[in-house]
Structure 1
């Protein structure tokens, strides 16, 4: 008979409920969320498990608090001998299941009971417990995702404040705002009148020097900046000084984030070298995209097929049917691993630029609708890419454009 163990995890405690296959509670226990506490709970689990019992342990993926106990139970030698399975469940899965029990109290022991009962019902998602090699890569790629989101937000903050000072900049200047030359120029904190009256040759030489000679026509760029300065709204000296300070601070934050991302990219490439794979044979997929995908998928044998990977990433569209009605518009699922989805979509955007088959597919999907064309086409391209990734990883196969994959 199986033994089901539901654990409600907090930063301080592990509240456990041990349940048999008939749904009867065998024991409850609260231990400290540390190594001695987890060891005590392991002993209690083994004590209640009969010799031929299968053991399944589940807990919610509660931020960082569930990782250590999940890895402890997964790696413990005594539990391994009993072929124990450890699951970390999406809290949304448990929350929706709990709705079936009307008016149930919200307490840690009750939550542990619900987790054990959900475990007893089966049909569980793939466990996210992975080997240390994939986990090390995952920490790096998830941190990179976090820094990219922070960089995007900070760049938007910068652009908002730039409009206060230089309202016509984006209208007149056709060059990236976050290039080294432009950010260096904005750090000088010139007033709009000073920029407008600056000798054109001096401004062009400054931009060419800071841009390391990359501008094909620095005088034309300088002229467009001066035109933007003349066309922009004017601020009072008090407000302009404040905006200059904010812009300078924002530029330094952006540069710091970019340096951190570069350092992470180097670390990601080093760890990735120790994980054999063939994903980088796909045109457009580099070390970062490859690492982000591998870190979340882990061992490909955890998934039955490519559809399971797509569902794990949230790249699927649930069917909506009732009677004779069949919905034509299907919404993308709002569940799944957002990190894997992010790296798959980023990889699809790169692959469609390098691979004719994926470029043609993207363009076909882009033309099908008039609303959110790019986003929709890119997500569908990512879904198509999942099939290729599954085949290459499962078969240890190198990508060949003219060769059909075997799965």
Structure 2
């Protein structure tokens, strides 16, 4: 039995006239697509989902956008354009004001850190380059302001600090917080100020480190498969990779893979277990060798940054792909990540919402800056990322 709560008034007045198409339909589609891609990722959304959320048919959607890749590109380009338009109203020589405007835009638009996500890897190379240029225009505004405030900075130094400040300004979009908005604003401005005033050391001129590949292979075929899967998932995303792809990358016949793993989800779960355990072991070793609270924080940040930047790192997959696991496995992964974050919070001495937000901003900074390939040309980029994360945490470095 259902309860009828309607009255006798028709929901829609009958009319022979056709409802006119809204003039801003394309903008509506892009707005919905941004929200959907930001929350669920590229592979978690299909064109029918977006059409339904807009209130149109899939056919009508395809009249505006030929495919999902094009819609993703337009969503990211639109986000970057909207942000730069917002920054046009801010003092171009004040980096703090630019960061505050970026933060407010992030919250007001339910902006899920599209600029730092890996969704652009699903685009064709030419669209990816177009998107990258648009995205870079956002930290470029902060970099210009930094150069006005700190003439001592080189263009490359200002770029590094601008990306770090952008990461912190956008960090609240990636996690829940119960901090009142004014307190959150105040905290984010303080964290950005710590970065704005960060010294940039130029030691002896040494070449940037090049990634070294030993050429040695695993004796274990299971490990060979996991290593191949990690590389593929990082480059292409879990949903774009098949078991045949993994077998081919590992140099194994497809039929042999199932001797070790029942399916792709089991491969992913094994990778995430590895990532979680590597973080836990790094934490244990860091705490065992620490001589003070500051030393412990430095060692923990170092262990995390090293894990994230390792060529065979599972950490990025742990962050980005855990939603592809069964619910129980997702819950276990979230618990493990929460416990890891708790250790950082404990080291800072006070378990408050401000402390937890600060820790998440520092971890996000390491994740974001480690992904930026152009920073890898800096001779000290790994050390610099760690130093900036420590400044966010309130630990002064030499």
Q: Is TM > 0.5 for Structure 1 vs Structure 2? A: no
What TM-score, normalized to structure 1? 0.24
More strand by share: 1
Higher relative contact order (CA 8 A, sep 6+): 2
- Mark the structure with the bigger radius of gyration: 1
TM-score (normalizing by structure 2): 0.24
